């Protein structure tokens, strides 16, 4: 696929005035970006039908081989450039495109098309790839559908070489703008001048896509999976990218702009003068109720950001990104070094390590050919770990070793039964004995589990007797409780974090936890919302964990909040019967106690 800027192919200039509107997607990379939209449309190169004479067959095969070789060399150069920008581990994502070029099935099928159908090399390659793309589009597997992006990028490069066309890039992005595109490949992102990319909006991509990983590494705010962004966002329109909530605001009005200007300033300088005095103070309400306020991270290097934000540690370290960055399970030693690095930076603050949450939208290659019809309800998270015991125990050994002299907690994802927790604890004990048998030192770790399914909610009583803490992942809890795929525009409006069913689910699990002296945390998106903070604290949540850039605002809210008043709010909300009732109660409470501060 060849990308061309929308303004060079019939792009639309912004009307004089536009009404404010909001598009929804998924949080790609955290941060706030405000600026003009650079709309980048996608154009598939036209491949004219052409047949060849018998005597040209070998020449066409040679042309095809040369195009593959040139493309492979280009991608290797881009990978090397990416290594300089973002490190060698993350640069390995270019291996996906390089591997496509080495696919023996594609190579043999193209050569067969050339030989038997007398097709020109570009026609044969185009026909084979288009057939592959059609199959991927129909796949129920989110990862396989996402592979379209990588294959289209390779397809465009090879076809351009075969047709003698230049490979288009994003060189037209000559001034600071927010890049809006149908899709972005890793080579697109690495080819950008970082100083000119304020933010990224893409129609295609998920929270674990390669574009998302690159944007996070480069610290470019991004929102992905925004349906029809290219057609709905006018060229040059002022837009706001909220990489925390996954929203894109077109033509923000003065009030909205003021809110996001403040959030952006606070993200750049987390502790402006009016908050500087709070940084090292505890997250404590005006009437003396303490809350543990922690941060979520994806990479060990972000531990420094946690300290800068004044957080009390890490409440969620998403370790699956170690796998996704390398395309394989990291070794025990690699993990040990990574966990130790983060834990030592944070010590004595806690580092809560969630074991690999692979599967679902976080695809990994285990050598299986079967495609799951519904990956979100399939083989993922703890289900994978309990079946693939060797890499799971390697991870457990690594974190036990890193816990020596530090404060590491371990947390198991997507629990639905007591048996799963029993088996995970048994494997943790085995890992501990294996490390000790080698003569290595181990540290004591607190053990927790994620409350992400209705099954975990209604088994909270026996589960609380087995672990030290619960942590609610609200995104999955909403998905499974409400039976809604928020990536589906027809039902996305049902993805409601303040639905009474969600509030009551949290309340039930929390009650069971406290009855068994088990600490209770919330680490999902709801914990990042200042509007929700009084409710969660009033319900009795012990710990909240959000992105580091959000922590300063949350701490400011906590320190101005009355716990007694928050409990009154929680009682009212727990009697509400509709989402509208809950929304109104939260908005009224926040307005009366904080006005527009900290939002």
For 25-70, write each residue's pLDDT tens digit: 888 888 899 999 998 875 667 898 999 999 999 999 999 999 999 9
In the structure encoding, which two tokens stand for residue 189, read together?
A: 């992102």
| Annotation marks residue 523 as catalytic | yes
Q: Using a pLDDT cut of 90, give the percent of the chain over it.
A: 54
State whether the Cα torsion 401-402-405-407 is positive or negative.
Answer: negative
For residue 599, the model assigns a pLDDT of: 60
Q: What is the dihedral of CA 136, 142, 147, 152, to 10 degrees?
A: 60
Give the pLDDT score at 200: 93
* 264: confidence class by pLDDT, cuts 50, 70, 90: confident
pLDDT tens-digit readout, 433-476:
999 999 999 999 999 999 999 999 999 999 999 999 999 999 89
Among residues 271, 286, 245, 257, which one has the least CA distance to residue 594? Answer: 286
Catalytic residue among 123, 432, 512, 523: 523
Active site residue 575: no
**Of residues 378 and 52, which shows the higher confidence score?**
52
Q: What pLDDT shows up at residue 389? A: 95
How deeply is 437 buried, as exposed, middle or buried, from its count of CB atoms within 10 A (0-12, 13-18, 19+)? exposed
Structure confidence at residue 528 as a pLDDT band (50, 70, 90): confident
Which listed residue (155, 210, 289, 499) is catalytic? Answer: 210
Please say if the pLDDT value at position 110 is more than 60: yes
Q: How far apart are CA 214 and CA 143, in angstroms?
A: 17
Please state the rounded mean pLDDT for residues 18-22: 88
- What's the pLDDT at 87? 63
**Of residues 161, 94, 100, the one with CA closest to residue 128:** 100
Spatial CA neighbour of 425 closest among 522, 417, 401, 348: 417
Task: Judge contact between 282 and 59, C-beta under 8 A.
Answer: no
Taking residues 537-545, report their average pLDDT.
97
* CA 414 to each of CA 294, 386, 454, 511, 520: distance values in angstroms, whole numbers, following the listed order: 21, 12, 10, 20, 16
The pLDDT-based confidence of 8 (bands split at 50, 70, 90) is: very low
270 pLDDT exceeds 60? no
Count Cβ atoms within 10 A of the Cβ of residue 15 and give its class: 0-12 exposed, 13-18 middle, 19 or more buried. Answer: exposed
Q: Which of 132-136, 180-184, 225-229 bottoms out in mean pLDDT, i.e. has the lowest?
A: 132-136
Determine the average pLDDT of the residues in 417-433. 97
CA proximity to 404, closest of 444, 447, 438: 444
Q: What is each CA distance from 450 to 193, 457, 468, 509, 576, in whole angstroms?
A: 40, 10, 12, 11, 26
d(CA 11, CA 1): 18
> CA 40 to CA 113: how far, in whole Å?
34
> What per-residue confidence (pLDDT) applies to 7?
45
Instruction: For residue 526, list its beta bridge partners.
Output: none
Number of Cβ within a 10 Å radius of residue 575: 10
Phi and psi, residue 198, nearest 5°: -75, -35
Q: Which tokens in the block code for residue 204?
A: 């295609």
pLDDT at 269 over 70: no
Q: What pLDDT is attached to residue 17?
A: 65
Lowest mean pLDDT among 172-186, 521-535, 549-563, 573-587: 172-186
Residue whose token pair is 């992105």 = 547
């Amino acid at each position: 696929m060849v990308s061309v800027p929308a303004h060079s192919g019939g792009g639309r200039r912004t009307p004089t005035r536009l009404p404010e509107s909001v598009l929804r997607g998924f949080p790609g990379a955290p941060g706030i970006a405000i600026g003009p939209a650079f709309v980048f449309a996608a154009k598939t190169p036209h491949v004219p039908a052409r047949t060849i004479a018998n005597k040209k067959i070998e020449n066409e095969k040679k042309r095809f081989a040369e195009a593959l070789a040139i493309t492979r060399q280009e991608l290797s150069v881009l990978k090397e450039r990416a290594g300089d920008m973002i490190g060698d581990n993350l640069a390995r994502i270019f291996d996906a495109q390089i591997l496509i070029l080495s696919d023996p099935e594609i190579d043999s099928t193209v050569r067969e098309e050339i030989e038997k159908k007398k097709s020109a090399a570009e026609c044969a390659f185009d026909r084979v790839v288009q057939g592959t793309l059609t199959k991927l589009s129909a796949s129920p597997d989110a990862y396989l559908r996402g592979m379209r992006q990588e294959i289209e990028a390779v397809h465009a490069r090879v076809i351009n070489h075969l047709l003698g066309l230049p490979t288009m890039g994003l060189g037209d992005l000559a001034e600071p703008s927010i890049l809006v595109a149908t899709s972005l490949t890793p080579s697109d992102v690495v080819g950008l001048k970082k100083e000119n990319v304020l933010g990224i909006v893409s129609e295609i991509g998920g929270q674990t896509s390669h574009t998302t990983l690159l944007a996070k590494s480069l610290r470019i705010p991004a929102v992905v999976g925004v349906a029809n962004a290219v057609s709905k966002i006018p060229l040059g329109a002022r837009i706001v990218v909220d990489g925390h909530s996954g929203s894109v605001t077109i033509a923000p009005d003065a009030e909205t702009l003021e809110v996001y200007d403040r959030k952006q300033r606070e993200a750049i300088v987390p502790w402006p003068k009016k908050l500087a005095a709070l940084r090292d103070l505890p997250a404590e309400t005006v009437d003396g109720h303490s809350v543990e306020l922690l941060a979520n991270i994806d990479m060990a290097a972000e531990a420094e950001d946690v300290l800068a934000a004044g957080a009390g540690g890490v409440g969620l370290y998403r370790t699956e990104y170690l796998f996704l960055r390398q395309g394989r399970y990291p070794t025990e030693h690699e993990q040990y070094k990574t966990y130790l690095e983060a834990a030592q930076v944070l010590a004595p603050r806690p580092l809560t390590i969630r074991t690999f949450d692979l599967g679902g939208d976080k695809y990994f290659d285990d050598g299986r050919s079967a495609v799951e019809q519904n990956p979100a309800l399939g083989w993922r998270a703890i289900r994978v770990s309990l079946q693939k015991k060797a890499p799971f125990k390697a991870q457990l050994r690594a974190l036990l070793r890193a816990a020596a002299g530090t404060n590491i907690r371990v947390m198991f994802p997507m629990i639905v039964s007591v048996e799963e927790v029993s088996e995970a604890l048994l494997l943790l004990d085995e890992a501990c004995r294996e490390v000790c048998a080698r003569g290595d030192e181990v540290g004591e770790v607190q053990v927790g589990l994620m409350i992400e399914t209705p099954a975990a909610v209604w088994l909270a009583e026996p589960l609380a007797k087995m672990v030290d803490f619960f942590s609610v992942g609200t995104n999955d809890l909403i998905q499974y409780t409400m039976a809604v795929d928020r990536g589906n525009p027809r039902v996305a409006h049902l993805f409601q974090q303040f639905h009474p069913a969600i509030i009551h689910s949290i309340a039930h699990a929390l009650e069971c936890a406290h009855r068994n002296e088990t600490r209770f945390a919330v680490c999902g998106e709801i914990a990042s919302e200042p509007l929700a903070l009084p409710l969660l604290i009033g319900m009795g949540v012990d710990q909240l964990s959000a992105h580091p850039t959000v922590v300063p605002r949350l701490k400011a809210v906590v320190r101005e909040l009355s716990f007694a008043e928050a409990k009154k709010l929680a009682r009212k909300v727990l009697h509400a019967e509709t989402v509208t009732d809950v929304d109104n109660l939260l908005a009224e409470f926040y307005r009366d106690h904080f006005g527009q501060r900290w939002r």
